Homo-oligomer: A and B are copies of this chain.
Amino acid sequence: MAAAAASEHTPLDPLDLPEGHPFGPHNLPYGVFSRAGESPRVGVRLGDHVLDAGAVAESLGSPHGPLLARRTLNPLLAAGRSAWSDVRRAVTSWVTDPAHREAVRPHLHPLAAVTLHLPFEVADYVDFYASENHATNLGRLFRPDEAALKPNWKHLPVGYHGRAGTVVVSGTDVVRPSGQRKGPQDPAPVFGPSVRLDIETEVGYVVGVPSPQGTPVPLAAYRDHVFGLCLLNDWSARDIQNWETVPLGPHLGKSFATSISAWITPLEALDAARVPAPARTVPLLPYLDDSDAEPAGYDLRITVTLNGQVVSEPPFAGMYWTGAQMLAHMTVNGASLRTGDLYGSGTVSGAAENERGSLIEMTWNGQRPLELADGKRGFLEDGDVVTLTAWAPGPAGTRVHLGEVTGRITARL
Protein backbone atom coordinates (compact mmCIF):
# COMPACT_ATOMS: atom_id res chain seq x y z
CA MET A 1 0.00 0.00 0.00
CA ALA A 2 1.07 3.53 -0.58
CA ALA A 3 0.03 6.90 0.68
CA ALA A 4 -1.08 9.09 -2.18
CA ALA A 5 1.03 12.18 -2.64
CA ALA A 6 -0.53 15.16 -0.92
CA SER A 7 -1.64 17.84 -3.30
CA GLU A 8 -0.19 21.23 -2.63
CA HIS A 9 -3.24 22.99 -3.99
CA THR A 10 -6.95 22.68 -3.33
CA PRO A 11 -8.17 19.89 -5.59
CA LEU A 12 -10.60 20.80 -8.35
CA ASP A 13 -14.24 19.96 -7.81
CA PRO A 14 -14.37 16.46 -9.28
CA LEU A 15 -17.95 16.95 -10.42
CA ASP A 16 -16.98 20.11 -12.24
CA LEU A 17 -13.65 19.34 -13.84
CA PRO A 18 -12.40 21.49 -16.70
CA GLU A 19 -13.29 20.12 -20.12
CA GLY A 20 -10.80 17.44 -21.18
CA HIS A 21 -9.22 16.92 -17.76
CA PRO A 22 -7.01 13.82 -18.18
CA PHE A 23 -8.82 12.10 -15.31
CA GLY A 24 -12.22 13.33 -16.45
CA PRO A 25 -15.33 11.25 -17.13
CA HIS A 26 -13.88 9.89 -20.38
CA ASN A 27 -11.17 8.10 -18.38
CA LEU A 28 -12.53 6.60 -15.11
CA PRO A 29 -9.82 4.10 -14.18
CA TYR A 30 -10.45 1.61 -11.38
CA GLY A 31 -8.42 1.03 -8.26
CA VAL A 32 -8.70 0.01 -4.62
CA PHE A 33 -8.43 2.54 -1.80
CA SER A 34 -9.01 2.82 1.89
CA ARG A 35 -9.66 5.65 4.29
CA ALA A 36 -7.96 5.70 7.67
CA GLY A 37 -9.23 2.85 9.79
CA GLU A 38 -11.49 1.43 7.08
CA SER A 39 -11.29 -1.60 4.81
CA PRO A 40 -10.03 -1.38 1.25
CA ARG A 41 -12.71 -1.01 -1.40
CA VAL A 42 -13.06 -0.44 -5.12
CA GLY A 43 -12.71 3.15 -6.26
CA VAL A 44 -12.88 5.08 -9.51
CA ARG A 45 -10.57 7.99 -10.06
CA LEU A 46 -12.10 11.31 -11.03
CA GLY A 47 -9.73 14.28 -11.09
CA ASP A 48 -7.77 14.22 -7.86
CA HIS A 49 -10.53 12.36 -6.07
CA VAL A 50 -11.56 8.77 -5.75
CA LEU A 51 -15.19 7.76 -5.99
CA ASP A 52 -16.32 5.06 -3.56
CA ALA A 53 -18.10 3.18 -6.32
CA GLY A 54 -19.68 0.53 -4.13
CA ALA A 55 -21.13 3.13 -1.79
CA VAL A 56 -22.65 5.06 -4.69
CA ALA A 57 -24.07 1.86 -6.16
CA GLU A 58 -25.67 1.10 -2.85
CA SER A 59 -27.05 4.57 -2.31
CA LEU A 60 -28.54 4.67 -5.82
CA GLY A 61 -29.82 1.08 -5.67
CA SER A 62 -27.68 0.14 -8.64
CA PRO A 63 -27.51 -3.53 -9.63
CA HIS A 64 -23.71 -3.20 -9.88
CA GLY A 65 -23.17 -3.08 -6.12
CA PRO A 66 -22.04 -6.71 -5.87
CA LEU A 67 -19.20 -6.04 -8.36
CA LEU A 68 -18.15 -2.74 -6.78
CA ALA A 69 -18.62 -3.04 -3.02
CA ARG A 70 -15.59 -5.31 -2.83
CA ARG A 71 -12.05 -5.33 -1.50
CA THR A 72 -10.43 -6.02 -4.89
CA LEU A 73 -11.23 -5.58 -8.55
CA ASN A 74 -11.32 -9.35 -9.10
CA PRO A 75 -15.12 -9.74 -9.07
CA LEU A 76 -15.48 -6.92 -11.60
CA LEU A 77 -12.65 -8.37 -13.69
CA ALA A 78 -14.36 -11.76 -13.75
CA ALA A 79 -17.73 -10.32 -14.75
CA GLY A 80 -16.90 -9.97 -18.42
CA ARG A 81 -17.05 -7.47 -21.22
CA SER A 82 -20.71 -6.72 -21.22
CA ALA A 83 -20.71 -6.13 -17.45
CA TRP A 84 -17.61 -3.94 -17.85
CA SER A 85 -19.53 -1.77 -20.32
CA ASP A 86 -22.62 -1.64 -18.16
CA VAL A 87 -20.67 -0.62 -15.08
CA ARG A 88 -18.70 1.99 -17.00
CA ARG A 89 -21.89 3.44 -18.38
CA ALA A 90 -23.39 3.58 -14.90
CA VAL A 91 -20.33 5.23 -13.35
CA THR A 92 -20.21 7.73 -16.20
CA SER A 93 -23.79 8.69 -15.51
CA TRP A 94 -23.14 8.98 -11.76
CA VAL A 95 -20.38 11.50 -12.31
CA THR A 96 -21.94 13.45 -15.19
CA ASP A 97 -25.69 13.44 -14.64
CA PRO A 98 -26.64 16.41 -12.45
CA ALA A 99 -29.50 14.32 -11.06
CA HIS A 100 -26.95 12.13 -9.23
CA ARG A 101 -24.79 14.97 -7.96
CA GLU A 102 -26.05 15.04 -4.40
CA ALA A 103 -26.00 11.24 -4.05
CA VAL A 104 -22.47 11.03 -5.41
CA ARG A 105 -20.72 13.90 -3.70
CA PRO A 106 -20.46 12.34 -0.22
CA HIS A 107 -18.61 9.40 -1.73
CA LEU A 108 -15.83 11.39 -3.37
CA HIS A 109 -12.63 11.45 -1.31
CA PRO A 110 -9.52 13.49 -2.02
CA LEU A 111 -6.66 11.25 -3.14
CA ALA A 112 -4.48 12.90 -0.54
CA ALA A 113 -6.73 11.47 2.17
CA VAL A 114 -6.73 7.83 1.08
CA THR A 115 -4.31 4.95 0.78
CA LEU A 116 -4.13 3.12 -2.54
CA HIS A 117 -3.72 -0.68 -2.56
CA LEU A 118 -2.77 -3.35 -5.06
CA PRO A 119 -5.97 -3.20 -7.10
CA PHE A 120 -6.38 -6.91 -7.83
CA GLU A 121 -5.09 -10.28 -6.68
CA VAL A 122 -2.48 -11.25 -9.22
CA ALA A 123 -2.89 -14.82 -10.47
CA ASP A 124 -0.02 -15.60 -12.89
CA TYR A 125 2.41 -12.97 -14.11
CA VAL A 126 4.06 -13.32 -17.50
CA ASP A 127 6.57 -10.86 -18.86
CA PHE A 128 7.06 -10.45 -22.61
CA TYR A 129 9.81 -8.86 -24.67
CA ALA A 130 7.77 -7.20 -27.37
CA SER A 131 9.78 -4.09 -28.29
CA GLU A 132 12.06 -4.63 -31.25
CA ASN A 133 14.20 -1.67 -30.24
CA HIS A 134 14.66 -3.03 -26.71
CA ALA A 135 15.43 -6.58 -27.83
CA THR A 136 17.86 -5.24 -30.41
CA ASN A 137 19.61 -3.02 -27.88
CA LEU A 138 19.99 -5.89 -25.41
CA GLY A 139 21.20 -8.22 -28.11
CA ARG A 140 23.86 -5.69 -29.16
CA LEU A 141 24.92 -5.22 -25.54
CA PHE A 142 25.04 -8.87 -24.49
CA ARG A 143 25.85 -10.66 -27.72
CA PRO A 144 27.84 -8.18 -29.79
CA ASP A 145 29.20 -10.89 -32.07
CA GLU A 146 25.82 -12.30 -33.05
CA ALA A 147 22.69 -11.07 -34.81
CA ALA A 148 20.97 -8.75 -32.31
CA LEU A 149 17.66 -10.63 -32.46
CA LYS A 150 17.47 -14.37 -31.85
CA PRO A 151 15.96 -16.38 -34.76
CA ASN A 152 12.61 -16.85 -32.98
CA TRP A 153 12.04 -13.19 -32.10
CA LYS A 154 9.95 -12.16 -35.12
CA HIS A 155 8.00 -15.43 -35.17
CA LEU A 156 6.58 -15.37 -31.66
CA PRO A 157 6.32 -12.96 -28.74
CA VAL A 158 9.08 -14.23 -26.46
CA GLY A 159 8.07 -14.24 -22.80
CA TYR A 160 8.53 -16.03 -19.49
CA HIS A 161 6.77 -16.33 -16.16
CA GLY A 162 7.64 -13.94 -13.35
CA ARG A 163 6.78 -13.98 -9.65
CA ALA A 164 3.17 -12.99 -9.00
CA GLY A 165 3.64 -12.80 -5.23
CA THR A 166 6.04 -9.86 -5.43
CA VAL A 167 3.88 -7.59 -7.58
CA VAL A 168 3.38 -4.43 -5.50
CA VAL A 169 1.40 -1.26 -5.91
CA SER A 170 2.96 2.03 -6.90
CA GLY A 171 4.55 3.81 -3.97
CA THR A 172 5.88 0.66 -2.31
CA ASP A 173 9.56 0.90 -1.46
CA VAL A 174 11.79 -1.58 -3.25
CA VAL A 175 14.53 -3.18 -1.17
CA ARG A 176 17.74 -3.52 -3.14
CA PRO A 177 18.15 -7.26 -3.76
CA SER A 178 21.24 -9.21 -2.86
CA GLY A 179 22.46 -12.14 -4.84
CA GLN A 180 25.24 -13.84 -6.71
CA ARG A 181 27.09 -12.09 -9.49
CA LYS A 182 30.20 -12.97 -11.40
CA GLY A 183 32.03 -10.75 -13.77
CA PRO A 184 34.21 -12.21 -16.51
CA GLN A 185 37.29 -11.41 -14.40
CA ASP A 186 35.99 -12.96 -11.14
CA PRO A 187 37.33 -16.46 -10.47
CA ALA A 188 34.15 -17.35 -8.56
CA PRO A 189 30.80 -15.67 -7.94
CA VAL A 190 30.57 -13.08 -5.17
CA PHE A 191 27.54 -12.29 -3.03
CA GLY A 192 26.18 -8.90 -2.12
CA PRO A 193 23.66 -6.18 -2.90
CA SER A 194 23.09 -5.74 -6.62
CA VAL A 195 25.35 -3.08 -8.10
CA ARG A 196 23.46 -2.86 -11.37
CA LEU A 197 19.89 -2.26 -10.33
CA ASP A 198 17.70 -1.20 -13.24
CA ILE A 199 14.13 -0.44 -14.27
CA GLU A 200 12.03 -1.83 -17.09
CA THR A 201 9.38 0.55 -18.37
CA GLU A 202 6.41 -1.57 -19.31
CA VAL A 203 2.69 -1.66 -19.89
CA GLY A 204 0.74 -4.38 -18.06
CA TYR A 205 -2.37 -6.15 -19.34
CA VAL A 206 -4.90 -7.24 -16.73
CA VAL A 207 -6.90 -10.37 -17.57
CA GLY A 208 -10.47 -10.47 -16.39
CA VAL A 209 -12.26 -13.42 -17.93
CA PRO A 210 -10.75 -16.88 -17.45
CA SER A 211 -10.41 -19.55 -20.13
CA PRO A 212 -10.46 -23.33 -19.72
CA GLN A 213 -7.30 -25.43 -19.82
CA GLY A 214 -6.83 -27.02 -23.24
CA THR A 215 -8.55 -24.22 -25.19
CA PRO A 216 -6.55 -21.42 -26.87
CA VAL A 217 -7.85 -17.84 -26.86
CA PRO A 218 -7.79 -16.49 -30.43
CA LEU A 219 -6.65 -12.97 -31.38
CA ALA A 220 -10.25 -11.87 -31.89
CA ALA A 221 -11.17 -12.69 -28.27
CA TYR A 222 -8.61 -10.30 -26.78
CA ARG A 223 -11.18 -7.71 -25.68
CA ASP A 224 -13.40 -10.40 -24.20
CA HIS A 225 -10.64 -11.41 -21.78
CA VAL A 226 -8.48 -8.36 -21.11
CA PHE A 227 -10.08 -5.76 -18.86
CA GLY A 228 -7.53 -2.99 -19.02
CA LEU A 229 -4.01 -1.68 -18.85
CA CYS A 230 -1.68 -0.50 -16.13
CA LEU A 231 1.84 0.85 -15.97
CA LEU A 232 4.44 -1.61 -14.81
CA ASN A 233 8.05 -1.31 -13.69
CA ASP A 234 9.80 -4.67 -13.80
CA TRP A 235 12.76 -3.85 -11.54
CA SER A 236 15.79 -5.82 -12.71
CA ALA A 237 19.14 -6.58 -11.09
CA ARG A 238 21.28 -6.93 -14.18
CA ASP A 239 24.28 -8.44 -12.41
CA ILE A 240 22.22 -11.15 -10.71
CA GLN A 241 20.30 -11.81 -13.92
CA ASN A 242 23.40 -12.05 -16.05
CA TRP A 243 24.98 -14.81 -13.94
CA GLU A 244 21.88 -16.90 -13.30
CA THR A 245 20.16 -16.72 -16.64
CA VAL A 246 21.54 -19.68 -18.58
CA PRO A 247 19.92 -21.94 -19.52
CA LEU A 248 16.46 -21.37 -17.99
CA GLY A 249 16.09 -17.59 -18.12
CA PRO A 250 15.76 -14.78 -15.56
CA HIS A 251 14.77 -15.64 -12.01
CA LEU A 252 16.16 -13.79 -8.96
CA GLY A 253 17.28 -10.87 -11.07
CA LYS A 254 13.58 -10.07 -11.47
CA SER A 255 11.59 -11.82 -8.75
CA PHE A 256 12.24 -9.42 -5.86
CA ALA A 257 9.67 -6.80 -6.96
CA THR A 258 7.48 -5.68 -9.83
CA SER A 259 5.55 -2.44 -9.36
CA ILE A 260 2.24 -1.59 -11.02
CA SER A 261 0.19 1.56 -11.08
CA ALA A 262 -2.67 1.86 -8.64
CA TRP A 263 -5.13 2.58 -11.47
CA ILE A 264 -6.28 0.10 -14.10
CA THR A 265 -7.46 1.88 -17.22
CA PRO A 266 -10.26 -0.06 -18.91
CA LEU A 267 -9.72 -0.82 -22.60
CA GLU A 268 -12.90 1.09 -23.38
CA ALA A 269 -11.26 4.31 -22.19
CA LEU A 270 -8.48 3.74 -24.72
CA ASP A 271 -10.54 3.27 -27.87
CA ALA A 272 -9.32 6.54 -29.36
CA ALA A 273 -5.73 5.49 -28.70
CA ARG A 274 -5.85 2.28 -30.72
CA VAL A 275 -3.27 2.05 -33.47
CA PRO A 276 -2.30 -0.72 -35.85
CA ALA A 277 0.81 -2.75 -35.17
CA PRO A 278 3.86 -1.85 -37.25
CA ALA A 279 4.60 -3.60 -40.51
CA ARG A 280 5.95 -7.09 -39.82
CA THR A 281 9.04 -8.14 -41.73
CA VAL A 282 8.42 -11.89 -41.63
CA PRO A 283 5.15 -13.76 -42.26
CA LEU A 284 3.27 -14.78 -39.13
CA LEU A 285 1.64 -18.14 -38.41
CA PRO A 286 -2.17 -17.88 -38.62
CA TYR A 287 -2.80 -17.73 -34.86
CA LEU A 288 -0.63 -14.58 -34.66
CA ASP A 289 -1.50 -13.03 -38.02
CA ASP A 290 -3.33 -9.79 -37.21
CA SER A 291 -3.29 -8.28 -40.67
CA ASP A 292 -7.09 -8.51 -40.79
CA ALA A 293 -7.70 -7.96 -37.07
CA GLU A 294 -8.90 -4.78 -35.40
CA PRO A 295 -5.98 -2.63 -34.23
CA ALA A 296 -4.63 -3.78 -30.90
CA GLY A 297 -1.73 -1.40 -30.45
CA TYR A 298 -2.08 1.66 -28.22
CA ASP A 299 -0.62 5.09 -28.70
CA LEU A 300 0.60 5.56 -25.13
CA ARG A 301 3.21 8.26 -24.46
CA ILE A 302 5.26 7.22 -21.47
CA THR A 303 7.54 9.45 -19.41
CA VAL A 304 10.27 8.07 -17.16
CA THR A 305 11.55 10.27 -14.36
CA LEU A 306 14.45 9.56 -12.05
CA ASN A 307 14.43 11.72 -8.93
CA GLY A 308 12.00 14.03 -10.65
CA GLN A 309 14.09 14.54 -13.76
CA VAL A 310 12.77 13.27 -17.11
CA VAL A 311 15.22 10.70 -18.45
CA SER A 312 13.22 9.09 -21.24
CA GLU A 313 9.97 9.24 -23.18
CA PRO A 314 9.30 5.78 -24.62
CA PRO A 315 6.50 5.53 -27.19
CA PHE A 316 4.28 2.45 -26.85
CA ALA A 317 2.73 2.78 -30.32
CA GLY A 318 5.57 1.10 -32.16
CA MET A 319 5.67 -2.20 -30.23
CA TYR A 320 6.22 -5.11 -32.59
CA TRP A 321 3.81 -7.45 -30.77
CA THR A 322 0.36 -6.41 -29.52
CA GLY A 323 -1.40 -7.46 -26.33
CA ALA A 324 -3.81 -9.51 -28.45
CA GLN A 325 -0.92 -11.45 -29.95
CA MET A 326 0.71 -11.99 -26.56
CA LEU A 327 -2.58 -13.36 -25.23
CA ALA A 328 -3.10 -15.64 -28.25
CA HIS A 329 0.45 -16.91 -27.96
CA MET A 330 0.33 -17.41 -24.19
CA THR A 331 -2.73 -19.68 -24.56
CA VAL A 332 -2.08 -21.40 -27.89
CA ASN A 333 -0.69 -24.43 -26.07
CA GLY A 334 -3.89 -24.74 -24.07
CA ALA A 335 -2.69 -22.86 -21.00
CA SER A 336 -5.72 -21.52 -19.15
CA LEU A 337 -6.31 -17.94 -18.05
CA ARG A 338 -7.45 -16.93 -14.59
CA THR A 339 -9.02 -13.73 -13.39
CA GLY A 340 -6.13 -11.54 -12.24
CA ASP A 341 -3.54 -12.85 -14.67
CA LEU A 342 -1.14 -10.05 -15.48
CA TYR A 343 1.14 -9.87 -18.46
CA GLY A 344 3.72 -7.23 -19.22
CA SER A 345 4.75 -5.91 -22.61
CA GLY A 346 8.44 -6.06 -21.82
CA THR A 347 10.54 -2.92 -21.78
CA VAL A 348 9.15 -0.23 -24.05
CA SER A 349 11.94 1.38 -26.05
CA GLY A 350 11.66 3.61 -29.06
CA ALA A 351 14.22 4.03 -31.80
CA ALA A 352 15.69 7.26 -30.45
CA GLU A 353 18.21 7.48 -27.63
CA ASN A 354 15.79 9.48 -25.49
CA GLU A 355 13.10 6.84 -25.89
CA ARG A 356 14.76 3.92 -24.12
CA GLY A 357 12.92 2.16 -21.31
CA SER A 358 15.77 0.82 -19.19
CA LEU A 359 18.91 2.30 -17.70
CA ILE A 360 21.05 -0.41 -19.25
CA GLU A 361 19.98 0.94 -22.64
CA MET A 362 20.00 4.63 -21.65
CA THR A 363 23.53 4.40 -20.24
CA TRP A 364 24.70 1.66 -22.61
CA ASN A 365 25.49 -0.72 -19.78
CA GLY A 366 26.71 2.07 -17.54
CA GLN A 367 29.34 3.31 -19.98
CA ARG A 368 27.51 6.60 -20.62
CA PRO A 369 26.01 7.57 -17.26
CA LEU A 370 23.03 9.88 -17.03
CA GLU A 371 23.90 13.35 -15.77
CA LEU A 372 21.34 14.16 -13.10
CA ALA A 373 21.07 17.23 -10.92
CA ASP A 374 22.33 15.11 -8.01
CA GLY A 375 25.13 13.33 -9.85
CA LYS A 376 25.82 10.66 -12.42
CA ARG A 377 23.81 7.43 -12.68
CA GLY A 378 24.82 4.25 -14.44
CA PHE A 379 22.33 2.24 -12.43
CA LEU A 380 20.08 3.01 -9.45
CA GLU A 381 21.44 4.20 -6.11
CA ASP A 382 19.75 3.80 -2.73
CA GLY A 383 17.18 6.54 -2.28
CA ASP A 384 16.56 6.94 -5.99
CA VAL A 385 12.92 7.34 -6.98
CA VAL A 386 11.72 6.19 -10.38
CA THR A 387 8.31 7.21 -11.67
CA LEU A 388 6.61 6.17 -14.89
CA THR A 389 3.61 8.11 -16.15
CA ALA A 390 1.70 7.90 -19.41
CA TRP A 391 -1.11 9.43 -21.36
CA ALA A 392 -3.01 8.44 -24.47
CA PRO A 393 -5.18 10.31 -26.92
CA GLY A 394 -8.80 10.30 -25.75
CA PRO A 395 -12.02 11.16 -27.56
CA ALA A 396 -12.33 14.58 -29.22
CA GLY A 397 -8.80 15.75 -28.59
CA THR A 398 -8.77 14.92 -24.90
CA ARG A 399 -6.08 12.98 -23.10
CA VAL A 400 -6.51 9.85 -21.02
CA HIS A 401 -3.97 9.71 -18.21
CA LEU A 402 -2.80 6.30 -17.00
CA GLY A 403 -1.62 7.43 -13.59
CA GLU A 404 1.82 6.56 -12.39
CA VAL A 405 3.94 3.80 -11.03
CA THR A 406 6.60 4.99 -8.66
CA GLY A 407 9.04 3.37 -6.29
CA ARG A 408 12.02 4.26 -4.13
CA ILE A 409 15.09 2.07 -3.73
CA THR A 410 16.03 1.31 -0.14
CA ALA A 411 18.98 -0.55 1.31
CA ARG A 412 18.26 -3.81 3.08
CA LEU A 413 17.89 -3.19 6.81
Residues facing B in A5-62 (CB within 8 A) are none
- Cβ contacts under 8 Å, A335 to chain B: 163, 165-166, 252, 255-256
A115 close to chain B: CB less than 8 A: no
Please determine whether A162 and B161 come into contact, CB atoms closer than 8 angstroms: yes
Interface-located stretch among A240-248, A294-302, A303-311, A395-403: A240-248
- Nearest opposing residue in chain B for A213, CB measure: B166
Residues facing B in A144-175 (CB within 8 A) are 150-152, 155-156, 158-166, 168, 175
- Cβ contacts under 8 Å, A244 to chain B: 152, 156, 158
A123 close to chain B: CB less than 8 A: yes
| Given known A-B contacts A175-B213, A333-B177, A335-B163, A248 and B251 have beta carbons under 8 A apart | no
| Given known A-B contacts A123-B164, A177-B334, A240-B333, A129 and B248 have beta carbons under 8 A apart | yes
- Cβ contacts under 8 Å, A216 to chain B: 178
- Nearest opposing residue in chain B for A282, CB measure: B188
Please determine whether B213 and A179 come into contact, CB atoms closer than 8 angstroms: no
Q: Interface size for chain A: under 10, 10 to 19, 20 to 34, or 35 or more residues? A: 35 or more
| Given known A-B contacts A160-B160, A332-B178, A334-B178, A168 and B213 have beta carbons under 8 A apart | yes
Cα distance A159–B126 when bound, in Å? 16
Please determine whether B252 and A330 come into contact, CB atoms closer than 8 angstroms: yes
Shortest distance between the CB of A260 and any CB in chain B (Å): 14
Residues facing B in A263-289 (CB within 8 A) are 282-283, 285-287
A77 close to chain B: CB less than 8 A: no
Q: What 1/0 flags go to A312-339 for Cβ under 8 Å of B? A: 0000000000000000011011111110
Q: Which of B129, B246, B287, B334 contacts A150 (CB 8 A)?
A: B246
- Nearest opposing residue in chain B for A243, CB measure: B152
A124 close to chain B: CB less than 8 A: yes
- Cβ contacts under 8 Å, A334 to chain B: 175, 177-178, 256-257, 412
Please determine whether B175 and A214 come into contact, CB atoms closer than 8 angstroms: yes
A237 close to chain B: CB less than 8 A: yes
- Cβ contacts under 8 Å, A124 to chain B: 163-165
Shortest distance between the CB of A355 and any CB in chain B (Å): 22
A136 close to chain B: CB less than 8 A: no
Please determine whether B333 and A213 come into contact, CB atoms closer than 8 angstroms: no
Shortest distance between the CB of A244 and any CB in chain B (Å): 6
A394 close to chain B: CB less than 8 A: no
| Given known A-B contacts A160-B160, A180-B156, A166 and B336 have beta carbons under 8 A apart | yes
Q: Which of B142, B251, B283, B337 contacts A161 (CB 8 A)?
A: B251
- Nearest opposing residue in chain B for A253, CB measure: B333
Cα distance A152–B248 when bound, in Å? 11
Q: What 1/0 flags go to A209-249 for Cβ under 8 Å of B? A: 00001101000000000000000000001001001111111
A341 close to chain B: CB less than 8 A: yes
- Cβ contacts under 8 Å, A214 to chain B: 175, 256, 412-413
| Given known A-B contacts A165-B341, A285-B191, A287-B191, A248 and B160 have beta carbons under 8 A apart | yes
Cα distance A178–B285 when bound, in Å? 12
Binding site for B on A (CB under 8 A): 123-124, 126, 129, 142, 150-152, 155-156, 158-166, 168, 175, 177-180, 182, 188-189, 191, 213-214, 216, 237, 240, 243-253, 255-257, 282-283, 285-287, 329-330, 332-338, 341, 412-413
14 contacts between A and B (CB under 8 A): A124-B165, A152-B246, A155-B182, A156-B244, A159-B251, A160-B160, A161-B163, A166-B335, A168-B213, A175-B214, A191-B285, A191-B287, A213-B257, A252-B332
4 additional contacts (CB under 8 A) given A152-B189, A155-B182:
A159-B251, A178-B333, A252-B329, A256-B333
Sorted nearest first, the 7 A-B pairs with minimum C-beta distance are A249-B249, A177-B333, A175-B214, A161-B161, A160-B248, A252-B333, A256-B333
